[in-house]
Amino acid sequence: MHYITLVKAVYYAPRGRQRLMHLGQLIAQRYLDAEALLIGVIGDAGAGKSLIIRGMFPGLVLTNDDDGVNVRPLPVLEDAQAGYFRTHTYHLDVRFEMAFTPLWELAEAVKMAISARRRVVVEHFELLYPLLNVNAELLIGIGEEVVVTKPTLFGPFPAEIAEQAYESLVYRKMAHSAEDLTGIVLEQMGIEPPTFHSDVRRGFVVEFTRKPEVDLAEVERRVLEYIEQDLPISVYNEGTIVIGQEKLKCSGPRIHMSSTGEIVGFRLDKNFHYSPITKTFLLAGRVG
């Protein structure tokens, strides 16, 4: 038998619902062992944890999803108390459940479930680990990047993954907010919307099939004006945000700063980069 030891796999964390779920599906295909019982997911609110989980486990009922649908009583806790586990896979959001149940009780329920060969997917795993004292078989941290690890007795440990995920998420939110502001300005200047959105470390990339005839220094100046106005950014619905008084379609409405003034260090590359492979023109923006 051959064993593959995964130290770390790192992906850019996408900013759209479909892209997050597709990445979750990819992670499950590549790294999820069919017999893995304890899955840990780490990341702050709005990082996309629920969408990654939905992609990994289609059909899994999340006990506290982004739409505010809360499953009560908590299935894994209820079944542990009854001594009979009815399903194969359970979900647990530790941060949410801490308001109702002591951590030690949650830890005991998870231990009983995995002892009964049931799988438990735990959000905010770093909060439960000190009492659980069992590391996840697959540990995923979601911040600016999605980090996938298969820990051994020697780590990596949840606290390490949590530090990286929580500290870096702000750059992803700034990049997404700056990307949407750039889109507003390009539309105002008569430029057709980009055909594709991609990622770069602490920034964004948009692609065009034709090279836009536009002064990128002027685009940058106008985006900086929006930033200086410190306009509020809020979620309108699952496909729309509001910047100031303007509604804007967005595939990742929760992955934003709360105002434009929180975007730090925005700048645009002053040239379009041509890709001979995709035959597209790429524009990159950076933050931080």
Per-residue pLDDT reduced to its tens digit, 257-271: 999 999 999 999 999
Mean pLDDT of 230-256: 89
Per-residue pLDDT, averaged over 149-175, amounts to 92
Residue 22, token pair as written in the block: 């597709």
Domain residue extents for the chain: 9-156, 170-286
Distance in angstroms (rounded) separating the CA atoms of residues 66 and 51? 9
Helix (H, G, I), strand (E, B), or coil: what is residue 64?
Answer: strand
**Residues 157, 125: Cα–Cα separation, whole Å:** 10
**Distance (Å, whole) CA 110 – CA 106:** 6
Dihedral in degrees, nearest 10, Cα atoms 257, 166, 168, 54: -80
Give me the percent of the chain exceeding a pLDDT of 90: 76
Q: Residue 220 is which amino acid?
A: E
Q: Rounded to whole angstroms, how far apart are CA atoms 39 and 59?
A: 16
pLDDT of residue 198: 82
The arithmetic mean of pLDDT across residues 43-72, rounded, is 84
Q: What is the CATH number of domain 170-286?
A: 3.30.980.10
Q: Which residues pair with 42 in a beta bridge?
A: 141
In the structure, how many helices (H) and strands (E) does the chain have? 8, 14
More confident residue, 186 or 73: 186
Q: Is it true that 9-156 and 170-286 share their CATH fold?
A: no
Spatial distance between the Cα atoms of 257 and 173, rounded to a whole number of angstroms: 6
Q: What pLDDT is recorded for position 1?
A: 36
Residue 157 in this model has a pLDDT that exceeds 60: yes
Please give the C-alpha separations between residue 167 and each of 11, 47, 54, 127, 161, in angstroms, as whole numbers.
16, 12, 24, 16, 10
Which pair of tokens denotes residue 171?
Answer: 């750059």
Q: Which residues contact 209 (CB under 8 A, 6 or more apart)?
A: 195, 279, 280, 281
> What class does CATH assign to 9-156?
alpha beta
Neighbours of 95 (CB within 10 A): 14
Beta bridge partners of 139: 40, 149
> What is the distance of C-alpha 178 from the center of its chain?
17
Cα 185 to Cα 131: distance, rounded to the nearest angstrom: 50
DSSP symbol at 152: B
149 with 114: CB under 8 angstroms? Answer: no
Give the pLDDT band (50/70/90) at residue 69.
low
